[in-house]
Amino acid sequence: MAKLAGNNAAITGGGRGIGRAIALLFAREGANIAVVDRDVSAAEATTADIRALGRSAIAVRVDVGHENEVAEGFHSVARELGDVDILVNNAGIDTTSRVVDMPTEMWDEMIRIHLRGVFLCTRAVLPGMLRRRRGRIINMSSQLAHKGAAEMAHYAAAKAAIIGFTRSLAYEVAEHNVTVNAIAPGPVDTDLFRKIPEDWRKRKLAEIPMHRPATVDEIAPTALLLASEEGGYYLGATLNPNGGDVMV
């Protein structure tokens, strides 16, 4: 039996990479999918593949760091697909700079997309989850939240803050049968990772016991666990599919 049958899932950054893999896996497990992405062409490509699987899907253009776009986008999701039962906050960006050289704009944009985006999208779906007394919220963090990395202080800070947000919100909503958890992957072979300077990527992969990045299909099953009934007793947890880069 499909593990997510009867559920509507919204996945930010669902047009590519990890988000796309999660969207397709959730669809194969019976969920209808809202692909939320600021690249609407990528979102539409993912929705086409989901519909080919026999599930309902919509593409919604949203910049997750923009309050009005989030409100309007999730209103469209509710109108066209229905109430969101599962939210995966996956949208993200990646840049590198030493702190001493980092423009304030680079710092602010990282926090805006990752941390503000998680807050805004979560706030958009939370009232309905609390009212219905059911919901799953899954936030994408990173192994760098645990260990940091040179030239990525802004990224590590944002991802660590997401873990703190996850734990705090979990306390607030558990009594309403809503769970909030995080995933902290290691490097994953995506467009985002490949755009990082090659010397940084080589150094990073040399640190990992497996000496390779994950595939997106090695990360998506962790999201499925947290979204499914089998994951119902995870609360405020951070799961770490990271190839041994951080052993916690």
Residues designated catalytic: 155
Helices (H) and strands (E) counted in the chain, each on its own, are 10, 7
Q: How far is Cα 220 from Cα 112, in angstroms, rounded to an integer?
A: 24
Pick the closest to residue 214 from 190, 180, 198 (CA basis). 190
Please report how the helices 153-173 and 104-111 are oriented relative to each other, as an axis angle in degrees rounded to 10. Answer: 30
Q: Would you say 115 and 92 are in contact if contact means Cβ atoms under 8 Å apart?
A: no
DSSP string over 153-211: HHHHHHHHHHHHHHHHHHHHHGGGTEEEEEE----B-SHHHHTS-HHHHHHHHHHSTT-
Structure-token pair, residue 209: 């016991």
